[in-house]
Amino acid sequence: MRETSGRKRSTVRRAVAAALGTAVLAAAAAGITLPASAAAPPVPAGWSQVFLDDFNGPAGSGVNTADWQYTTGTSYPGGPANFGTGEIETMTADPSNVSLDGSGNLRITPRRDAAGNWTSGRVETRRSDFQPPAGGTLRTEARIQMPNVTGPAAKGYWPAFWMLGAPYRGNWWNWPGIGEIDIMENVQGLNNVWSTLHCGTSPGGPCNETSGIGGQRPCPGATCQAGFHTYAVEWDRSTAVEQMRFSVDGQTYHTVRADQVDAKTWTDATNHGYFIILNVAMGGGFPDAFGGGPDAGTVPGHSMVVDYVSVLRSTGGTTPPTTPPTTPPTTPPSGNRDAYTAIQAESHDDQAGTAKETTTDTGGGQNLASLGNGDWALFKGVDFGSAAARQFRGRVASGAAGGVSGLVEVRLDSRTAPPVGSFSIASTGGWQNWRTVPANITGVTGRHDVYVTFTSGQPADFVNLNWFDFGH
């Protein structure tokens, strides 16, 4: 939930089961949905609890205001209107929008009145000092069931669990330089979780704003809406390169490392504490990118249910998680393309919905044009070698109209396989105004057929692609 004037939400987008070794995390890693009233996991050896709220209390009561503060209205005092994201609800402290349910959960519930006006809830920790110690790790997690609504009835829903850099408080205009860590976002009732680090300058900049450095995946086991899942980020200063690892149910799916941006950008975003936010917005840039905000078919009253929020700190020595490399297919695909050399988009082996045109980008040649939702291109036999590739870069341009954006995705060996990585793109200022956009991918080794697919919530074309490559 970014906070800056006039920007759109991202369309993108820790494994500590071994390190923590608790029964709850083991169950999460196995995709088991625990009861709604499950307690927070016990604190494992080597870690200390620095914050915990189990949301125990009488039904209808509010949050503990010693730990949390309500954010009400449509903006921070003196800050961007509509919280800078274009969302349309008014946040309140009314128990109908924010309250405990008496069963150990916090419920944040969007409502619509007879005049069609939306209200919802947003709470933030009073503390804004959450950061890892030198040489240690901070783990911020929550067990959440997203609003259990899908399809047209979910249009405009935008639940989130996230963190903002402490310098934002009282300034309200210094985003994204002060950093934003989106641990869980969802939109339109889709079975998908997005996570993102925002940093640098906007638009564009080293962190590809307003999209940020993001990753995504479907929820394991039960859908995000049908069951509880544990969403977490581990901010790790014990590794050679400082990093943030995002996970769902103990499965790491996105990592951001300090060496992906310049030192000043990373320091500006991380050399301070953070505060935690839970909210459900209605409408705004993110829903707009997937079909639009609430309409007459949107059904109010579906709650984001939060079982607990926990912050743990380790002073170092824990083993960072590893992501197993993607298993190569039994029969290597035909072709011999180098994953680490620019692959020209027009050199595809098969495609649907694409067109070629002359490019004015550096190097000349052609680019793929008129790319929109459902289009794809196949590149056979891309050789990643034995050292896992963990980055994907695309050379893209867009002259899409305001509110039109989408995802550029990488899939392996089947165009219906889950994406191993993606980035979002909106207008770059013109269909030949080129930008190189980076994204993280799940570690990939061996040789694969690579499908580059294009996904959007609108029928309009949203991107041109000149080339792409991969990196370690």
Task: Say which DSSP state 39 is in.
Answer: P
pLDDT digits (tens, 9 = 90+) for 240-281: 999 999 999 999 989 999 999 999 999 999 999 999 999 999
pLDDT digits (tens, 9 = 90+) for 87-106: 999 999 999 999 999 999 99
Angle formed at CA 419 by CA 183 and CA 239, multiple of 5 degrees: 50
Confidence band, pLDDT 50/70/90 cuts, at residue 319: very low
- Specify the 3-state DSSP secondary structure of 235: strand
pTM of the predicted model over 0.85: no
CA distance 16 to 318: 9
Are 338 and 469 contacting, i.e. CB atoms less than 8 angstroms apart? no
- Specify the 3-state DSSP secondary structure of 281: strand
What pLDDT, on the 0 to 100 scale, is given for residue 259? 92
pLDDT digits (tens, 9 = 90+) for 280-308: 999 999 999 899 999 999 999 999 999 99
For the segment 154-169, the average pLDDT, to the nearest whole number, is 98
pLDDT digits (tens, 9 = 90+) for 103-143: 999 999 999 999 999 999 999 999 999 999 999 999 999 99
Closest CA to 464 of 396, 408, 399: 396
CA distance 41 to 32: 15
Confidence band, pLDDT 50/70/90 cuts, at residue 329: very low
- Specify the 3-state DSSP secondary structure of 449: strand
| Omega before 333 within 30 of 0, i.e. cis | no
pLDDT digits (tens, 9 = 90+) for 381-433: 999 999 999 999 999 999 998 878 889 999 999 988 889 999 999 999 999 99
What pLDDT, on the 0 to 100 scale, is given for residue 402? 84
For the segment 367-392, the average pLDDT, to the nearest whole number, is 92
Q: Is the pLDDT of residue 196 over 80?
A: yes
- Specify the 3-state DSSP secondary structure of 29: helix
Task: Say which DSSP state 413 is in.
Answer: S
Percent of the chain at pLDDT above 90?
Answer: 74
What pLDDT, on the 0 to 100 scale, is given for residue 316? 67
Q: Is the pLDDT of residue 35 over 80?
A: no
- For residue 313, count other CB atoms closer than 10 A to its CB: 19
CA distance 472 to 85: 33
CA distance 130 to 309: 13
The overall average pLDDT reported for the chain is 88
- Please compute Rg for the chain using Cα positions: 21
What pLDDT, on the 0 to 100 scale, is given for residue 40? 86
Angle formed at CA 71 by CA 118 and CA 287, multiple of 5 degrees: 45
Closest CA to 275 of 193, 161, 174: 161
Confidence band, pLDDT 50/70/90 cuts, at residue 30: very low
CA distance 144 to 1: 17
Task: Say which DSSP state 43 is in.
Answer: P
Of 29-43, 222-236, 359-373, 427-441, give the lowest mean pLDDT range: 29-43
Of 17-21, 220-224, 281-285, 333-337, give the lowest mean pLDDT range: 17-21
